[in-house]
Amino acid sequence: MDTIWTPDLSLVEGPKYQALARAMRDAVRRGELTPGAQLPTVRDLAWRLGITPGTVARAYQLATQEGLAEAVVGRGTFIAEPARPGPRVPLHIEPDARVIDMRTPQMPEVGQGAAIAQAMRAAAGRLDGAWLGYPAQRDEMPLRQAVCDWLSDMVLGPVSAEDLALTCGGQHAINVVMQCVLRGERPVVLTEDLAYPGLRHAARLARAEAVGVETDGEGMRPDAFEAACRKYMPQLVCLTTEAQNPTTARMGVQRRADLATIARAHEVYVLEDDCYSVAGDRLPAFRALAPERTFYIGSLSKSVSPALRLGWMLCPAGMGDAGRLTVQHGQFALSRPLTAICEELLVSGAARRLRDAVREELSARTETMVNALGAFDLAWQAGLPFAWLHLPIGWRSSTFARAAEAEGVLLRTADEYALVHARAPNAVRLAICGNVARGRFEQGLAALTRLLAAPPADLPV
């Protein structure tokens, strides 16, 4: 039987669905709703509260996503047992030398070790008393200027070191952007319907609701973005314009302009993730089209070495102080050794030489992958360390991943990039494993080719 529960939403501020979800949390905290209690049906509660069934359904969905409630097919929605904290899925997976690991892109060795060692020796020669105290952001100005020079071949609009905040890698920059922008108890962040998992992990840490928006071959669709803005009133939208992860899609100029117009009309901040940007013809970045609301994210992890952990966020015009203050509250500033080493790599030109060599090797390996799998539905960009493979009829992504693992090849399915309740295409992402010999890399591709050409006659149910 349904629980007789009729909250007073006039006591809770915010949108009705958020107010109802908060009232539910408060009722659980006070013991009015106990684990196992069945909630009223959507229509019944909507009638009692004088709101739409859709509002109640959305509140129930939000409570379910938070683990506060659970929906049982054919029975209804119930208050869930308190969840015990469990292990989180790690973003970084340690490589396994026993397999050909195509789950996470691995950087090829093109002389990074020697270049970093030289930069460390140069930094050691500049030791002074400032190295004995806490790092300060005022000492980062030369590195911030060096990063601006590094970005000079991008079409970003006016770039100033005053608008730049330095972070410990791109993932840290994403977290900082959400800390800067998001306000309220349950803010909404929009992402592409298939997106880098680190975005939704960052949203979860910020107590935000991540909502996927439909995409096509160029990325987020303007009509779907407009509809999501009207429905959810988001505070932030996360976009990858140059190299969408995982689909490799690149957004055209008109699409970027259309999305920028919508973001401006609805006063939505934009997080533009360009960590995977590759060389080629440069299109105007979102930062150039909407500089007053775009946080442009980048790092050295995908182009030089992930070991350096240097990232940056080019803040909206005039918001550099706010971005750096948010970083300061978390860690003061980058460590002095890291700042000195990265400054030396950038100013000396070593970082650019390493980036060009990395791109050359990744492009060669991408060509090898295209030659091996080009007969199938493969999307790729030269120099990008992953490709997107739509599986032929007869294969499901989960079944294909298990079959590939049996052949010693690990990969990621589309499910790993989809938000909760989202539908994932029958596809897999194949990362370029630059840390293994080319011959072994080719063996892994040959194993995948054999599997793709011979799907199983009967798929398991």
Q: What is the pLDDT of residues 33-62, one digit of tens each?
A: 899 999 999 999 999 888 999 999 999 988
Answer for the pair 251, 218: CB distance below 8 angstroms, yes or no: yes
Compute the average pLDDT of residues 288-317: 96
Answer for the pair 456, 399: CB distance below 8 angstroms, yes or no: yes
CATH topology for the 100-109+352-453 domain: Aspartate Aminotransferase, domain 1 (3.90.1150)
Out of 3.40.640.10, 2.40.50.140, 3.40.50.1110, 3.40.50.2300, select the CATH number for domain 112-350: 3.40.640.10
For the chain, the first-to-last Cα distance in angstroms comes to 34
pLDDT at 1: 47
Residue 83 confidence class, pLDDT cut points 50, 70, 90: low
Indicate if the pLDDT at residue 387 is higher than 80.
yes
For 126, phi and psi rounded to 5 degrees? -115, 25
CA distance 201 to 217: 25
**pLDDT more than 70, % of the chain:** 93
Tens digit of each residue's pLDDT (9 = 90 or more) over 313-365: 999 989 999 999 999 998 889 999 999 999 999 999 999 999 999 999 999 99
Greater confidence (70 vs 10) lies with 70
pLDDT at 114: 97
Ranges for all domains in the chain classified under CATH 3.90.1150.10 = 100-109+352-453
Residue 457 confidence class, pLDDT cut points 50, 70, 90: low
pLDDT at 280: 67
pLDDT at 461: 43
CA distance 274 to 285: 9
Compute the average pLDDT of residues 82-88: 58
pLDDT at 244: 95
pLDDT at 65: 77
Nearest Cα neighbor of 212 from 422, 15, 64, 424 is: 422
Residue 4 confidence class, pLDDT cut points 50, 70, 90: confident
Mark out the alpha helices in 238-349 (DSSP H runs).
253-265, 286-289, 320-331, 336-348
212's tokens: 């996927």
Answer for the pair 377, 442: CB distance below 8 angstroms, yes or no: no
Answer for the pair 180, 348: CB distance below 8 angstroms, yes or no: no
Ranges for all domains in the chain classified under CATH 3.40.640.10 = 112-350
Tens digit of each residue's pLDDT (9 = 90 or more) over 100-124: 999 999 999 999 999 999 999 998 8
Nearest Cα neighbor of 262 from 215, 317, 221, 216 is: 221
The alpha carbon torsion through 260, 265, 268, 274 (nearest 10 deg) reads: 0
Compute the average pLDDT of residues 215-225: 96
Compute the average pLDDT of residues 293-317: 96
Where is average pLDDT lowest: 26-30, 63-67, 105-109, 383-387?
Answer: 63-67
CATH number of 9-79: 1.10.10.10
Where is average pLDDT lowest: 165-174, 252-261, 329-338?
Answer: 329-338
Compute the average pLDDT of residues 143-151: 96
Ranges for all domains in the chain classified under CATH 1.10.10.10 = 9-79
pLDDT at 175: 97
CA distance 433 to 422: 29
Tens digit of each residue's pLDDT (9 = 90 or more) over 397-455: 999 999 999 999 999 999 999 986 667 899 999 999 898 999 999 999 999 999 999 99
- Give Cα separations from 332 to 167, 306, 324, 348, 356 (angstroms): 11, 21, 9, 27, 32
Answer for the pair 286, 257: CB distance below 8 angstroms, yes or no: no
Where is average pLDDT lowest: 161-165, 377-381, 415-419?
Answer: 415-419
Compute the average pLDDT of residues 383-410: 95
Nearest Cα neighbor of 56 from 69, 43, 73, 65 is: 43
Nearest Cα neighbor of 295 from 164, 151, 153, 149 is: 164
DSSP H/E element including 299: strand 294-299
Q: What length is written for the chain?
A: 461
The overall average pLDDT reported for the chain is 90
Indicate if the pLDDT at residue 129 is higher than 90.
no
Compute the average pLDDT of residues 158-169: 95
